[in-house]
Structure 1
Amino acid sequence: MKIVFMVQLSVTSEQNGAKYAQLWIGEEEDLWQLGWSSMNMDKEQVDIWYEGSSWNEMMHIYRFQLAIKMSEGYRPLIEGIFHESEETKQRNQHTQKLQCYSELYGREELYQALCVWRRKKASTERKAPYFIASNRLLRMISTFVPHTLEELRELPGVGENKLTEYGQELLDITTKETREHGFPLNWVSTVLTEEEYESWNYRQKEQKYKQELDKFNLKKSVLTAIASSQSLDDISALTGLNRRELVDFLEELEKSGYDTEMLIAKELTWMTDDEQELIWNAYDELGTSFLKPILHQVYGEDPAGAGPLDQLYERLRMVRIRYRRQTETSKQVG
């Protein structure tokens, strides 16, 4: 096998001193192999992370597995294996360090009190809790404990609208608490060690690349299932997604240029040509942005007699995929 890429990494601990490992990519007869080798009890241990023909799949696994190792403390002898520009790192560093410190040194009791406030507020305003405030923002508020609106404004994620709507209510909770450090928050960079920050940063990358890898594998599974003429229910059982989530994913695939027509045709075989034509004409007249007007135009103001609402919306969305694909094709040809 020909090695086309290799990097050496090391991790140092007080108990074991320095440990070294190698990350490598090899190629033989158009097959790729991605591996990690390290010394364990004076014996070389080799872990093969990937074997196959897909460079794209291998790189998803490369980023995810490398982030895991670096969150464990491994560092490359040559920097730059994640290809991040210094400009991007510097631009995001202040916000990231505030987030890092709040997760490592947060005040759990105050955080839970803020979560209770958010839950009640969301119920009163009939909003999803994350519209009120994200977990990340509540973590920072509970850690840095702002006592004034100006201090609250200093936290990333607090805009003027949020400050006006919820600022005083948040301060009613935080001003009852004492704090070790004050504002401004430039002290965070001096208190937070570089190793703490780097390990935390790579844990964030680990989560990000895990999501990307999961999405890649989901796409691979769905496309393979479509090619083998499986139904939506079959794919639901395979992936664990419900039908609505799968139709969401089909729309994403179509936007990315993948053709899902084989599955759509299979699912719409029981629809009459007249019903599909009514839906198609409604999209011509009303556009594809909103489904409710289409629903009422095709099935009437009280569509319950035509079937369960979730099934009706599923029909509309599948026909919409076809409609958008044909419209886009017509534009390109024109």
Structure 2
Amino acid sequence: MQIVFMNRLSKNSGDSTGGFAQLWIGEEEGEWRLGWRDFGEIPESVDSLWYEGSSWNEMLGVYRHELAVKMGEGYRPLIDGVFHEEEALTGRNQEQLKLQYYSEQNVNESIYEELCGWRRKKASSERKAPYLLASNRLLRLLSSFLPHTEEELLQIPGVGEAKASQYGPEILAITSAAERSHSFPLSWVGGEVDEESFTSWLYKQKEIKYKKQLERLRLRRLLLQGIADGCGIEELKERSASSRREILEAVEELEKDGYIVDSLIDRELESMPSVEQEAVWSAYREIGDMLLKPVLHKVYGEDIASAGSLDLHYERLRLIRLRFRRESEGAQGLATHPQEQV
């Protein structure tokens, strides 16, 4: 096996330097191997094989995720830039991340729960998804820094003029009622943050991010194999331990990236009458394909929401939309480049 990359990492243990480790990537006849050799504080080394296979992309995904875990544990590389494509933190980005880190360590739980309750009721009354009003991250920031005025509210990352205007009074009614021991502006936060703990937290965020990327990559590979094997959504669900919704979203991403998933579409729509399929196609042509609900009502009527097969109807609409968009984009391409027609 040929070693194509190696890096040495050391780990601080309290006031003294702990052990060190080697991270390596090897290749032999198209097979990639990714490993970790931990020398610890004792002479004997411990080897771990993180990946063995032919996919460079999957190997790179494992590399990033597992390395983020080790960096979160305190390992630091001899050669920096170990994540490749790593985002450089600007001063403003780092400042906002420190606010997020501080808020997670110092959240006012009772205010956080009150804000969650407000968001839940507001989302229900406005018929919106709760995250569209405010993310959990924003609610933690609010419950930690407790703004008392609109000027202070606008200093919280994630709050803009529109959100402050629309929801500010209701948010401030909750946050301003709580006592606080700090002041605004929040420039003092950086001095309260332990740099080593903050760095480990940053790598924990990377670990979460890369784990999600790796899961999507593995699901993608499994779906491509399953579709090639003639599987339907239910069989893909069993193979991947994913929900039908997650599978449909992944299939849409595959189609967007140029993969043809017609065999899956054919299998899922084989029990759907052609007249019904044509009605859906006509509805897309008439009112567009951005939103599914108007198409659903156009084809099946306003009372369809009470039907027990609503999820099935939405699945079929999404599958037909894949073909509709592909053909629409193809037609636009021919119209743009008519000289390429045969």
Residue of structure 1 equivalent to 2:139:
138
Q: What's the Cα RMSD here?
A: 2.5
Shift of 1:185: 1.0
Contact 1:299 1:306 in 2 (8 A): no
1:210-259 per-position Cα deviation (integer Å, ceiling 9, x unaligned): 11011111111111110111122111222233434432332221111111
Q: Percent identity?
A: 52
Change (3 A) 1:326 1:173: closer
Change (3 A) 1:87 1:50: closer
Residue of structure 1 equivalent to 2:33:
33
Runs (5+) with no aligned partner, structure 1: none
1:37-66 per-position Cα deviation (integer Å, ceiling 9, x unaligned): 111443110100000111011001111111
- In structure 2, what is the Cα distance between the partners aligned to 1:14 and 1:306? 62
- In structure 1, what is the Cα distance between the partners aligned to 2:275 and 2:129? 39
Residue of structure 2 equivalent to 1:12:
12
- In structure 1, what is the Cα distance between the partners aligned to 2:137 and 2:80? 29
Partner SS state of residue 231, structure 2:
coil
- In structure 2, what is the Cα distance between the partners aligned to 1:131 and 1:306? 27
Partner SS state of residue 45, structure 2:
strand
After TM superposition, the score normalised by the length of structure 2 is: 0.88
Residue of structure 1 equivalent to 2:197:
196
Partner SS state of residue 139, structure 1:
helix
Equivalent position amino acid for 1:34 in 2: L
Aligned length, in residue pairs = 334
Residue of structure 2 equivalent to 1:169:
170
- In structure 1, what is the Cα distance between the partners aligned to 2:47 and 2:189? 40
- In structure 2, what is the Cα distance between the partners aligned to 1:144 and 1:304? 42
Change (3 A) 1:253 1:86: closer
- In structure 1, what is the Cα distance between the partners aligned to 2:117 and 2:308? 40
- In structure 1, what is the Cα distance between the partners aligned to 2:277 and 2:137? 45
Equivalent position amino acid for 1:68 in 2: V
- In structure 2, what is the Cα distance between the partners aligned to 1:43 and 1:193? 33
Change (3 A) 1:113 1:301: closer
- In structure 1, what is the Cα distance between the partners aligned to 2:306 and 2:175? 53
Change (3 A) 1:110 1:280: closer
Runs (5+) with no aligned partner, structure 2: 338-342
Change (3 A) 1:192 1:292: closer
Residue of structure 1 equivalent to 2:82:
81
Residue of structure 2 equivalent to 1:228:
229
Residue of structure 2 equivalent to 1:259:
260
Change (3 A) 1:330 1:131: closer
- In structure 2, what is the Cα distance between the partners aligned to 1:285 and 1:183? 53
- In structure 2, what is the Cα distance between the partners aligned to 1:184 and 1:305? 51
Q: Which moved more, 1:273-282 or 1:193-202?
A: 273-282
After TM superposition, the score normalised by the length of structure 1 is: 0.90
Equivalent position amino acid for 1:255 in 2: K
- In structure 1, what is the Cα distance between the partners aligned to 2:312 and 2:225? 25
1:71-105 per-position Cα deviation (integer Å, ceiling 9, x unaligned): 11111122211236785443411111100111123
- In structure 1, what is the Cα distance between the partners aligned to 2:307 and 2:118? 43
Equivalent position amino acid for 1:22 in 2: Q
